[in-house]
Amino acid sequence: MFQQLHTKHQPIGQFENTRFEKIHNVTFKSSFEASVLVAQEIASLIKEKQDQNKKCVLGLATGSSPIKVYEELVRMHKEDGLSFENVIAFNLDEYFPMDKSNIQSYFYFMHEHLFNHVNILPENINIPNGAISIDQLHQYCIDYEMKIKALGGLDFQLLGIGRTGHIGFNEPGSHLNSGTRIITLNHITRIDAAPSFFGIENVPRKAITMGIGTVKDAKRIVLLAWGANKNTILKKTIEGDISATVPATYLQQHGNTTFVLDEEASSELTRVKTPWLVKSCVWNAPLKLKAVTWLSNLLAKPILKLTDQDYNDNGMSGLLAEEGTAYDLNIKMFNKLQHTITGWPGGKPFAEDSNRPERANPSKKRVIIFSPHPDDDVISMGGTFDRLVQQGHEVHVAYQTSGNIAVSDEEALKFAEISKEFNTDSKKVNGIIEFIKNKKGNDLVDSLDVRKLKGAIRKSESLGATRYLSLPDKNVHFLNLPFYETGTIKKGNLSEDDIATMKNIIDTVKPHQIFAAGDLADPHGTHKVCLDALFAALEEMKSEKEYMKDCWVWLYRGAWHEWDSHEIEMAVPMSPEQVLRKRHAIFYHQSQKDGVMFQGDDSREFWVRVEDRNRLTAKKYNDLGLTDYAAIEAFKRYHY
Ligand code: F6R
């Protein structure tokens, strides 16, 4: 089975593990493609065991990482007749305390994603019981462990990895030989779980988990990790020393483990991030820029001061040999970066544009800014938005989702109560007030009216911001893509309706420029789904519509990340005054201020975060030797 992920399905280019890597790992272009292969490995194991008339003992994980694997296993069961009759499943963990019926329980998760859709025998499903009483807990954990051992151990263990380096819920400090037990969840883990629990205060503090020892006894281990959020911990796990502070490093001692990654997750590995340090490279233009900016950063020297020796000492003699001298290479790379800077994001009218990021013509462009939530537009590109309007382009903003789940009940109640002042007898308003006041627990999905009110709050906040930036209301579009409207954190799948809505707005505006959130970091997050909807629309429209030939797509990053300097293809500087205008526009999004629901582990407010980020981008440019600006917004072009 090792072979299957190893050779038959050759993943993307750089896949030979290097001297830095202590765990076998493979990188795929997409988590979907990778998940299908993992599901195939599991399916072959199940069948192999069936042929031998044996049980197949699987260790299973929850979380976002294995969802597509389960989807594919369900598909195989339904379409290819894969039977789960010989499968005995043991789940890694469960929150404690936690009732089975709770939608946040791992019991619920496993049934929703897998067990309800395949023919596994109910008696063969083992998930730690989060409702066990404290006095029974110790014995319960021993029994769980013994049950696995009695069956001859786990044939296969599927894992995800937490940002703390946990596997199962074995948080930092866990012992190599630990068994199934109760543990205290790390703060970062609770932050990561907060969205599914509608706030960190609702996330349990404890969990029952299989131990490192339990996991390590499995005959085969496959760990899945997707997205840039995991790249730092993966580098530590794969390249670092074995240590209890990163429990996943214990897997370095397991001889039959494969880490299955997507490109974002593997992006910090030495062979990916700085390939010139481990092998000879084919030096294409993006790699040259990446290497030179890296070197400048490493040595804290502006590009134009890098010397031949600097290159030779840092694994880049091959590059130097190709380019001649450091002097030639430096000037070339410096100019490249210089040409990304423009105060004219819609193109500078009547100017020579061969070295500018955007075309001069047409001088007045039609522009769509796609914003996944009603605020990403001003948070991520408020300065550029402002310039585009001021420079006379026909700008449209399209909010892709209503963003209703990110409005707190308190905020909604405030508006409902104000409304009641004027509509004392309104059934709707009274119904909303009653619903919110009686809302119990965190698993209750809002009523349609409450969701509508929450959506309306975000809508009028958005209009406040777009009016402030002088955009006519008719150019503001609220798409309410259907995939988002489930009322829960878990979203539906992208459908034809979503794509049709995207195509419709594009066809109405017939844009020369599209700006969109290029958040590739979170494979299941709303931003990524919104981006997928755009990509799907572009794919269909590029051959259908002549005007699409003139439409350029620019990707900004969401509130969490920024493009690296070498990735930026358009850098729009902001003066201190423009930074303040942007801040003001963000302020209109009042419901997203002060301890918002989906804050993540960064307690800074959005406007603070983004000002820091735009200032940092400017500083990075300045450190490379370019002009010192107050702030910069960054974009990367997407070619479709
Ligand atoms: C889940 C589990 C955890 C997760 C990890 C990653 O059963 O044991 O170790 O695998 O927290 O979670 P996701 O996949 O949601 O990023």
Closest-lying ligand 1 atom to the alpha carbon of residue 224: 14
Range of the domain at 110: 25-271
From 62, 221, 522, the mutation candidate for ligand 1 (largest count of ligand atoms within 8 A of CB) is 62
In a shared domain, residues 535 and 587: yes
Q: What is the CATH number of the domain that holds 596?
A: 3.40.50.10320
Are 229 and 194 in contact, with CB atoms under 8 Å apart?
A: no
What's residue 443's pLDDT?
Answer: 57
What's residue 606's pLDDT?
Answer: 85
pLDDT of 487 strictly over 80: no
**Token pair of 543, please?**
């051959």
21, 71, 171, 461: the catalytic one is 171
How far apart are the CA of 189 and the centre of ligand 1, in A? 9
519: in domain = yes
Higher pLDDT, 506 or 19: 506
In a shared domain, residues 138 and 124: yes
Higher pLDDT, 465 or 11: 465
- What is the three-class DSSP state of 52? coil
pLDDT of 600 strictly over 90: no
Question: What distance, in Å, lies between the first and last C-alpha atoms of the chain?
Answer: 36
Please report which confidence band the pLDDT of residue 627 belongs to, taking 50, 70 and 90 as the band edges.
very high
Q: How many residues does the chain have?
A: 640
* Mean per-residue pLDDT, 74-95: 98
Are 535 and 496 in contact, with CB atoms under 8 Å apart?
A: no
What's residue 228's pLDDT?
Answer: 85
Q: Where is the domain boundary, 219, 247, 271?
A: 271
pLDDT digits (tens, 9 = 90+) for 376-420: 999 999 999 999 999 999 999 999 999 998 898 999 999 999 999
Cβ–ligand 1 contact at 64 (below 6 Å): yes
In a shared domain, residues 300 and 184: no
Number of domains in the chain: 3
Cβ–ligand 1 contact at 168 (below 6 Å): yes
Cβ–ligand 1 contact at 239 (below 6 Å): no
In a shared domain, residues 256 and 325: no
492: in domain = yes
Q: Where is the domain boundary, 227, 243, 271?
A: 271
Query: Which secondary-structure segment (H or E) carries 427?
Result: helix 427-438
What's residue 439's pLDDT?
Answer: 87
Query: Which secondary-structure segment (H or E) carries 208?
Result: strand 206-209
8: in domain = no
Stretch among 261-265, 329-333, 632-636 having the lowest mean pLDDT: 261-265
Q: Ligand 1 atom 4: the closest Cα is on which residue?
A: 160
Q: What is the CATH number of the domain that holds 266?
A: 3.40.50.1360
pLDDT of 472 strictly over 70: yes
* pTM for the whole structure: 0.86
What's residue 473's pLDDT?
Answer: 98
pLDDT digits (tens, 9 = 90+) for 504-554: 999 999 999 999 999 766 656 788 899 999 999 999 999 999 999 999 999
Please report which confidence band the pLDDT of residue 16 belongs to, taking 50, 70 and 90 as the band edges.
low
d(CA 441, CA 439): 7
In a shared domain, residues 374 and 461: yes
Please report which confidence band the pLDDT of residue 200 belongs to, taking 50, 70 and 90 as the band edges.
confident
Q: Where is the domain boundary, 230, 245, 271?
A: 271
How far apart are the CA of 320 and the centre of ligand 1, in A? 44
* Mean per-residue pLDDT, 71-90: 98
523: in domain = yes
Higher pLDDT, 584 or 13: 584
In a shared domain, residues 216 and 238: yes
pLDDT of 10 strictly over 60: no
Are 145 and 153 in contact, with CB atoms under 8 Å apart?
A: no
Cβ–ligand 1 contact at 28 (below 6 Å): no
Q: Ligand 1 atom 1: the closest Cα is on which residue?
A: 62
In a shared domain, residues 401 and 472: yes
Cβ–ligand 1 contact at 260 (below 6 Å): no
Q: Where are the alpha helices (DSSP H) in 184-284?
A: 187-193, 212-216, 231-239, 270-273
d(CA 76, CA 73): 5
d(CA 517, CA 403): 15
612: in domain = yes
In a shared domain, residues 506 and 542: yes
What's residue 1's pLDDT?
Answer: 41
Query: Closest by alpha carbon to 82, among 111, 56, 110, 109?
Result: 56
Closest-lying ligand 1 atom to the alpha carbon of residue 230: 16
In a shared domain, residues 263 and 283: no
What's residue 381's pLDDT?
Answer: 97
Q: What is the largest CA-CA distance in the chain?
A: 81
**16 is a catalytic site residue:** no
Cβ–ligand 1 contact at 191 (below 6 Å): no
67: in domain = yes
Query: Closest by alpha carbon to 160, among 17, 90, 259, 246?
Result: 259
Q: Ligand 1 atom 11: the closest Cα is on which residue?
A: 162
437: in domain = no
412: in domain = no
**Token pair of 413, please?**
């109640």
Closest-lying ligand 1 atom to the alpha carbon of residue 170: 9
* Mean per-residue pLDDT, 183-201: 89
Cβ–ligand 1 contact at 93 (below 6 Å): yes
Please name the residue that has the structure tokens 């029974």. 136
- What is the three-class DSSP state of 274? coil
Cβ–ligand 1 contact at 62 (below 6 Å): yes
In a shared domain, residues 197 and 298: no
In a shared domain, residues 481 and 505: yes
d(CA 255, CA 434): 59
In a shared domain, residues 161 and 213: yes
Kind of pairing between the strands at 476-478 and 631-638: unpaired
How far apart are the CA of 161 and the centre of ligand 1, in A? 5
